[in-house]
Structures are given as C-alpha cells and as structure tokens.
Chain A
Amino acid sequence: MSKPTLLLIDDEERILRSLRMLFFMSYNVRMTTDPYEAIRILREEKVHVVISDQRMPVMQGSELLRIARETSPASMRILLTGYSDLNASIASVNEGEVFRYLLKPWSVEDVKSVVAEAAAIAEASFAVQSVFAEHKAVENIRPRVLIMDHEEATVNTVREILGDRCELVWAHNAQLAMEELAKQDVSVVISDLMLGDTNVAYILKTIKQLNPQTQCIVVTSFNDTSRLIELINQAQISRYLPKPVSKNILARNLESMLERFHALRNQPAMQKRQTVAPISNHQERLQSGNFLGMINRLRARIAV
C-alpha cells in the first residue's frame, strides 16, 4: 500500500523542513510556503492530512482549511500555530472544521500520533466514495435537540427556528443535562460552557462517547482561547458561536448540523472524522468517568 500523503503549509520553511524529516519515512510529504500552491495540490492530488500554520502573509490558515474542506472534503485538517488567539480558534472550528488545533512548540509524539490517526481516518473517508453526498436519503426519525443553557431566551430562539420539527429538550443545569443525554440519543446539542456555576466542558467532552453522531454547537459569552482549543480537540465541537447570537446565524448553523447528523447516520464510516482526543484535565476526566458510569448503570437497568 502506498504511503498516505501529508501536505504541510507554513510561511517558515524551517518548520516545513523539520516536519518533513519527522514524517518522510512513513508519509509522502508535500510542502509549501504558499497557500495558493497548497490549494492547487489539494485539487490535483489525493491528500490525506493537511497541516497548516495559522498566521501567514497571504492567507490565514483557518481560511486555507475552509477552502481545503470544499476542495478535498475527505482530507483531515490540522492547524499548527504558535499564536493562540481567540478569533483564529473560532474560525478554525466554524470555517476550518479542524480535526486538531495544535500549538507550537509541539510534542513530537503527540504530533506523530495525531497525524497517524488522521491519516487512517482520511483513508477510510476516501474509501467511502462520495463524502457527505448521500445525506439526501432522508430518514424519518425525529431529531432530538438538547439545549444546555440557563437562559430561557436561547430555548425560545431555538423553538422559533425549529418549530415542532424536532423534539426540544431544555436542561438548565448539569444534572438535568446528564439525565437527558442518558435517557435517549441526542442529534444536536446547543450548549453554553457554564450552566450556573458548573463548567460543563466535561459533559461536552463525553458526548461523542455516548453517540459519535451527536453534533455540538457551543453558544457562549465565555471567551477563553485555551478552553476553546481543548473543546476542539477533546470534544470536537462543530460550532462555537459567541453570545449574543443572532437568530439567523444560529438557524443556519443548526440546520447544517441537523443535516450532518443525518449524513452521519447514513454514513457511519464518517463518524471517525470527529474522533476526540483524550481529556487532558484530571478533574474533568474523573467527572466524565462518573458520568459514563452513571449512564452504563442506567442503561443496564433499562436493558433488564
């Protein structure tokens, strides 16, 4: 089997040379300092993994990855940046839909394993011929949308958008949210980061383990870049929308996430594209473990 292809983009050539040395044994490494050249390569060649810098003179990495998403949807996208600014990380979720947001300087082992994982997922994606092409095959299940927010305004907005096309569930605290997630599969979660005094990141980071198809939209006024980067890597949230969010923007994103949920149901092979990284925070790991334990006990009881 031929080596998977890795495309590296960075305006610093030394980064490219260094990464090539790391990967050339196991991958076919393509590299360039020019994002337009990268787009050409994506159009003409089969690229498994794209690793891009964020800050470049002619184009931001998140923009390049957005184009990569359209040009080569099966390729896995990774951002590797030395600048952890909020706008870049928001754009990398909402536009770039990155698999991982990695920081410079990186750990060699981490980068290697992330790239290996991404390459395998991309290979599987290429195997499933047309990515996201068959989602028109509508299935008649009524989507279930969980809103984790202490503000009722968010619930009302979502209700206005969806009417009764979906089953709406509102959880205004962490306990309720966990119960609702345990009860039944959820198609889309719309969540703030804080429910009252509780940081619910651990719930968001556990969602993909409950159901890899569930799509997560974070709507929050909470602005912390490192938290967001964690949510990208460890929760694979699909959207990050700063509060207050306009009804139109929320509607647009909600529709596309419902669509993606259906697409994933029809194409389970694509679920792996949103594989999450292990939870890094010790406390959250414990909370997530407890949550999963609770769900397993609950499901066991139902099964009996």
Chain B
Amino acid sequence: MRNGNTPTKGIFAREILALVNPIEAVPPELTVAEVAELFLNPAYAKVLSLPVVESGRPIGVISRYRFMGMYLKQYARELHGKRAIRNYINEHPLLVELDQPLAEAALYVAQNMQFPLTEDFIITRRGKYLGIGFVMDLLKAMEARMRANTDELNNAYSRLKSSQLALVQSEKMASLGQMVAGVAHEINTPLGYVQNNVAIGQDLFMQVRVVIAGYEALVDNLLNGQASDDQIAEQIQQISEMRADFNAQEMLGEMQGLMTDSLYGIGQISELVMNLKNFSRMDAAASDTVNLNDCIESALNIGRNVLKNKVEVVKELADLPKFTCSPSQLNQVFLNLFTNAAQAMEETGRLHIRTWHADEALHISVADNGKGISPENLTRIFDPFFTTKPVGEGTGLGLAISQQIIQQHGGEIQVESRIGEGTTFHIRLPVAAVERQEPLAMTV
C-alpha cells in the first residue's frame, strides 16, 4: 500500500507535527517538590508525564504515576523533596522524531508503551526536544489514517471494477470487430460477381435495345409498305451486321446463367448478414430458450473466415433439449474456442465438436489437434490478461470472459491439453433452470 501511495517527508512531518504539545521541558536540576508543583498546574491537567531535558536533548520523563508511587510512602516528601528530579526519571522515554512516518511512530509506541498507560511520548526534531505527544492522539490520528486508506481502497476497488467492465467491453468489441471484418471480407466475393454481373447486364440491356429497335424499324417498314426495296435491303444489311457483331441469343443465354449466379450470390450475402444477426442477437432478448447446437452452428458460420481452408470441422451433435440461456454470450464463448483452436494449428488441423445430454446437464466438448498448451500455461489460461499471443493481438480476456459466462450460467469449463497433440475444452451446463444471483449485464 505504501508503494501505491508514497507520501513525501513533508507529509510525515505534518502528521507528527499535529500531535506536538509544546509543554515546557523540565531541567534535570529541578527538585522533586518543584516538579510536583508543576503537575498541579491546571494547564498540565491532561499531561501524564513531563519531559526532562538537558541542553535541548530529552534525557527522560517523570510521570504522575511515579510521583504517586513515591508519595504514597511515609515521609516521601521529606526524604525526596529536595533532591534533583534527575534521580527519579525514566531514562528510556518513548521518543518520536518529527519526520517519522505516522504508522512507524504508532507501531513503535504501541510496542514499547507500558500498561497501565503512565507516560506520554516525547517528540524531537533531529534529537532536540520539541514537545510531548499523547498516545491517545497518536492512536486517533492512526485511526483517521486507516479510515482514509479504507476510503482510498474502496475508490480503487470501484475504479478497478469499472475498468474491468471497460476491458470486458473492449474484448467484446475486439472479437466483434474481428468477426465483422471477417464477414465483411466474406461478403466481398459474392458482392464482386453480383455487382459485375449487374453491370454486364445493364450493358447487354442497352445493346439488346438497339437490336430490337432495328428489328422493329424493319417490321414497321415492311408492314406499312412505304419504304423502298433499297431501304429495306439496307435495313436488313444493318441488322445482319449487328447480328454478326453481337449474338443476342447467345449473350442472353450467358446472361441468364449470370443471373442465376447473382441470385445465388445475393442469397449468400443474405445468409452472411443473417448469421451476423443471429450471432449477435442484438434484436433478441438477452435470455432465450434455444438449441445449443444452433448456437454452435451460428458460431461456426461466423468463424468460417478463420476456419476456412485451414480447419476440418467434425461435428457430433446429439439431440439436445431446449436450454434457457443468453445465446449471444454462449455464441461468444463458442466462437472464442473455435478461433483459439484454429490459431493453435500450424498449418491445417481438425476441430472435433461434440454435444451430448447427460446427468441433467448439457455437455459440449471442443477438441483440436493443434500444438497444445504447456502445463505451466494451462494453469493460467483462464486468468484475465494471460495471453501467449504477441502484444496487440490478443487482450488475454477471451477465455477469462468465457469462463465467467459459463459460470454465470451455473456451469463449468475445463481444459485438458498435451503438447503436440492438442487441446480439449469441456463445458458442462446444468439443464435445471439456473437462478442467477447476478444479472448478466456485465458482459452483455
């Protein structure tokens, strides 16, 4: 804590300074009787002990308690009254330096004070007497300090909590961003040929219009019988030249194929957009009753960009009962596991996804034959910010958030891995409707 908030020396000095009572010091030559008189001074009513100082330096304290002990004996006044106080002092008083940290002073005083409390402590500046301090004041100051620390801790805690929220949000945005970028790229291919086909179609449409206009002019002339034979012959000549340049039938036939392709491409684009929508479920309730296999399919669709040409996906999805959950969150978990698996593969690999229903729970296992995780990393993979990816490529929050999501669903996620063989994640989600203690707002 002290490292987190290192006060300067000035602050220490001020803390102790506030405790100083500038009581006039007692010279060691003063007699016992004279000192006893001092204790009767109402200004010293609160004082437990008086400091004895010789040439500026404290040499001890004399306490009321000591006087009590002395004066309770017979003839004490007569026996000791005229003698110098020097002979009666406690030569090991509690000494606190002005610039000592408060906590250190409090610890020193607490460890060295006597019970019952009979003496005050002496405050010095570079060894010179400055005043006395009351132990109770010191303890009060310490308590105030503790309270301030607690407040600070509370503030730090709430700051941490909000920054964690921000991080969770940023992880979510990062994976969302990746996903959107992937899908956007995926859309470019069908968009490419659909757009090209439409442009070609438009061009063709213009050419066909010209051809039809030629035919129509010829037919009109033939029907109304006003055109000369030469004119008609010329028109026929023009049309046959046009036909030689431009085979409308063949072009239209080709175009028909491109139209079919375009419809297919538009279907692809719609499917991609729908996948995105299903995956994020922005327009659906946070909690819904769904088939988990659909969530897995949805995550696979979205992750296709990462998995394509690299990962062979083997699915063994059993019939599952409907499950009430936050589908967008579980989608996020699945996508995270799938993309991690793909990233664990050097070149290509296999992703084996299984679901089954047993012991009142839904089980999902996601196994890859990638490079595996070393035992020392395996114990840390669910830790927030733990990542093996280069800086800037992963937030290190993916699995931490996945685990949190699964736990919020009352389930658990476990991992097994062998270097060189692969990694398997196993998720268990109890079917019995889970009463959640906490709303899922955190990761939504």
B189 interfacial by beta-carbon distance below 8 Å: yes
Indicate which residue in A12, A17, A55 contacts B309 across the interface (CB closer than 8 Å). Answer: A55
**Which residues from chain A contact B261 at a C-beta distance below 8 Å?**
14, 17-18
A104 touches B191 (CB 8 A): yes
Cα A82 to Cα B185 with chains together (Å) = 5
A105 interfacial by beta-carbon distance below 8 Å: yes
**Which residues from chain B contact A21 at a C-beta distance below 8 Å?**
196-197, 200, 254-255, 258
B199 touches A108 (CB 8 A): yes
Chain A proximity of B180: nearest CB distance (Å)? 14
B196 touches A82 (CB 8 A): no
A36 interfacial by beta-carbon distance below 8 Å: no
Near B by CB (< 8 A), chain A positions 169-193 give none
Cα A194 to Cα B190 with chains together (Å) = 37
A105 touches B195 (CB 8 A): yes
Cα A55 to Cα B309 with chains together (Å) = 9
Chain A proximity of B258: nearest CB distance (Å)? 6
Q: Which residue of A lies closest to B199 (CB)?
A: A108
B237 interfacial by beta-carbon distance below 8 Å: no
A108 touches B196 (CB 8 A): yes
Whether A22 touches B185, Cβ cut-off 8 Å, given contacts A56-B309, A104-B191, is no
Chain A proximity of B130: nearest CB distance (Å)? 58
Cα A105 to Cα B195 with chains together (Å) = 7
User: Interface 1/0s, chain A 74-95, versus B by CB < 8 A?
Assistant: 0000001011100000000000
Indicate which residue in B189, B195, B200 contacts A12 across the interface (CB closer than 8 Å). Answer: B189
A83 touches B188 (CB 8 A): yes
User: Interface 1/0s, chain A 48-90, versus B by CB < 8 A?
Assistant: 0000000111000000000000000000000010111000000
Cα A12 to Cα B189 with chains together (Å) = 8
Cα A108 to Cα B193 with chains together (Å) = 10
Cα A167 to Cα B277 with chains together (Å) = 60
Q: Which residue of B lies closest to A12 (CB)?
A: B189
B196 touches A106 (CB 8 A): yes
Q: Which residue of A lies closest to B197 (CB)?
A: A18
B108 interfacial by beta-carbon distance below 8 Å: no
Q: Which residue of A lies closest to B190 (CB)?
A: A14
User: Interface 1/0s, chain B 255-299, versus A by CB < 8 A?
Assistant: 101100100110000000000000000000000000000000000
B200 touches A82 (CB 8 A): no
Which of A17, A21, A57, A108 has the largest count of B CB atoms less than 10 A from its CB?
A: A21
Which of B187, B188, B192, B193 has the largest count of A CB atoms less than 10 A from its CB?
A: B192
**Which residues from chain B contact A83 at a C-beta distance below 8 Å?**
185, 188
Cα A151 to Cα B186 with chains together (Å) = 40
Q: Which residue of A lies closest to B185 (CB)?
A: A83
Chain B proximity of A26: nearest CB distance (Å)? 13
A12 touches B196 (CB 8 A): no
A15 touches B185 (CB 8 A): no
**Which residues from chain B contact A17 at a C-beta distance below 8 Å?**
193, 257-258, 261
Near A by CB (< 8 A), chain B positions 230-258 give 254-255, 257-258
A250 interfacial by beta-carbon distance below 8 Å: no
Chain A proximity of B192: nearest CB distance (Å)? 3
A14 touches B265 (CB 8 A): yes
Cα A56 to Cα B194 with chains together (Å) = 20
Chain B proximity of A79: nearest CB distance (Å)? 13
Cα A103 to Cα B195 with chains together (Å) = 13
Q: Which residue of B lies closest to A10 (CB)?
A: B189
**Which residues from chain A contact B199 at a C-beta distance below 8 Å?**
108
A18 touches B186 (CB 8 A): no
Q: Which residue of A lies closest to B187 (CB)?
A: A82
Which of B186, B193, B194, B255 has the largest count of A CB atoms less than 10 A from its CB?
A: B193
9 additional contacts, CB 8 Å, given A14-B265, A82-B189? A14-B193, A15-B193, A17-B257, A18-B200, A21-B196, A21-B200, A104-B189, A104-B192, A105-B192
- In the A-B complex, the 10 residue pairs with the smallest Cβ-Cβ separation, listed nearest first, are A82-B188, A104-B192, A18-B193, A105-B192, A104-B188, A14-B261, A108-B199, A105-B191, A18-B196, A105-B195
**B positions within 8 Å CB-CB of A:** 185-197, 199-200, 254-255, 257-258, 261, 264-265, 308-309
- Can you name 18 A-B residue pairings with CB atoms under 8 Å? A14-B190, A14-B193, A15-B189, A17-B193, A17-B258, A17-B261, A18-B196, A18-B200, A21-B197, A21-B200, A55-B308, A57-B309, A82-B189, A82-B191, A83-B185, A84-B185, A103-B188, A108-B196
